[in-house]
C-alpha cells in the first residue's frame, strides 16, 4: 500500500515546527474514534516523522473534546471475521509503545470478545507492572486520569487548558538535546523492555483474527451498540 501523503490526510492533522512533529487525531464528531483510514494515516504520520531528519520529538494529541475514544465500533467491529491470511505486525513505524499502551487501555478489548494488540500486551506490564496490567486487561474497567497518574500510566495530570502548553514545553526540552544521543537513548530504553514486540505482535494478530469469528465477539459488539449488558457463552 502506497504511503499516504500528509496533504491527503482526512482524519489526522500533521505539522512539524521547531523539530517537533504534532500528530492530531481529528474526528471530533466521533470523539476521535479510530477507523481504518485513521489507522492508516497514523501509521503514515509516524513513517513521515521517522524519515524526517528534522523531527526529534513527536507530540500526539486529539481535537477537542477528546484524545481518542478507541476504535469506531460501528466501522471496525462489525462481528464479521476478516478475510485473508493474518497480516504481519507493523511495529517499527507505529506510535511509540507507551502511546500504544495508552490507546489500547481505552479500547476495552475484553468487553468486545477480543484481546488487545502489541501495545497492551508488551508495554503495559512494563509501565504499570504485571499485576496491574492483568487487572486492567482482564476486567476491561475504565480508569480516570488520576488513577492513570497514580499507577504510572501517565506522567502528569493537568487542567485541560494547560495540557498542550505543558506538552509542548516538554517536547521543546526534549528536542533541544543532541539528536543522535537522543535517538540512541530511545533505542536503549526499548532494548531494556522484556520480550520481543514483533513476536508478541504476530501472536496477538493471529489470536485477534480467531476471535473476530466468535459469537462472543459478535455479542460484545451487539450489546455495545444496543447499550445493554453482554451475555457471553464461550463460543
Note the pTM of the prediction, 2 decimals. Answer: 0.75
Q: What is the DSSP string of 159-187?
A: -HHHHHHHHHHHHHHHHTS-HHHHHHHHH
pLDDT of amino acid 22: 97
pLDDT of amino acid 92: 40
pLDDT digits (tens, 9 = 90+) for 30-63: 999 999 899 899 999 999 999 999 999 999 999 9
pLDDT of amino acid 87: 47
Q: Sign of the CA dihedral 104, 166, 192, 21?
A: positive
- Report the C-alpha gap between 217 and 223 in whole angstroms: 10
Pull the grid cell for residue 177.
538535546
Could you please state the CATH topology (level 3) that the domain comprising 79-158+191-235 is classified under.
2-enoyl-CoA Hydratase; Chain A, domain 1 (3.90.226)
- pLDDT tens over the chain, length 235 residues: 688 999 999 999 999 999 999 999 999 999 999 998 998 999 999 999 999 999 999 999 999 988 988 888 778 765 444 444 444 444 443 444 445 544 555 556 788 888 887 778 888 888 899 999 999 999 988 888 899 999 998 999 999 999 999 999 999 999 999 898 898 888 887 777 666 677 777 888 888 888 888 999 888 889 988 999 999 988 9
pLDDT of amino acid 69: 86
DSSP H or E run through 188:
helix 179-191
pLDDT of amino acid 108: 64
Dihedral over alpha carbons 75, 77, 78, 80 (to 10 degrees) = 130
Residue 60, CA atoms < 13 Å, CB-side half-sphere: 19
Amino acid at each position: 500500500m502506497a504511503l499516504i501523503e500528509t496533504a491527503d490526510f482526512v482524519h489526522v492533522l500533521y505539522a512539524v515546527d521547531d523539530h517537533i512533529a504534532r500528530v492530531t487525531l481529528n474526528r471530533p464528531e466521533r470523539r476521535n474514534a479510530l477507523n481504518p483510514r485513521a489507522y492508516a494515516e497514523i501509521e503514515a504520520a509516524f513513517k513521515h516523522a521517522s524519515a524526517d531528519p528534522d523531527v526529534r520529538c513527536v507530540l500526539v494529541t486529539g481535537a477537542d473534546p477528546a484524545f481518542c475514544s478507541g476504535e469506531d465500533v460501528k466501522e471496525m467491529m462489525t462481528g464479521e471475521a476478516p478475510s485473508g491470511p493474518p497480516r504481519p505486525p507493523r511495529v517499527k513505524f507505529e506510535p511509540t509503545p507507551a502511546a500504544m499502551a495508552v490507546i489500547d487501555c481505552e479500547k476495552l478489548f475484553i468487553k468486545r470478545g477480543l484481546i488487545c494488540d502489541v501495545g497492551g500486551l508488551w508495554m503495559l506490564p512494563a509501565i504499570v507492572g504485571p499485576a496491574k496490567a492483568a487487572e486492567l486487561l482482564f476486567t476491561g474497567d475504565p480508569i480516570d486520569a488520576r488513577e492513570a497518574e497514580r499507577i504510572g500510566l501517565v506522567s502528569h495530570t493537568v487542567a485541560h487548558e494547560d495540557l498542550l502548553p505543558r506538552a509542548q514545553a516538554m517536547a521543546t526540552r526534549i528536542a533541544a538535546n543532541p539528536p543522535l544521543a537522543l535517538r540512541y537513548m530511545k533505542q536503549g530504553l526499548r532494548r531494556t523492555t522484556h520480550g520481543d514486540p514483533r513476536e508478541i505482535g504476530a501472536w496477538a494478530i493471529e489470536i485477534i483474527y480467531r476471535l473476530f469469528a466468535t459469537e462472543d465477539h459478535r455479542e460484545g459488539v451487539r450489546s455495545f451498540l444496543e447499550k445493554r449488558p453482554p451475555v457471553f457463552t464461550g463460543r
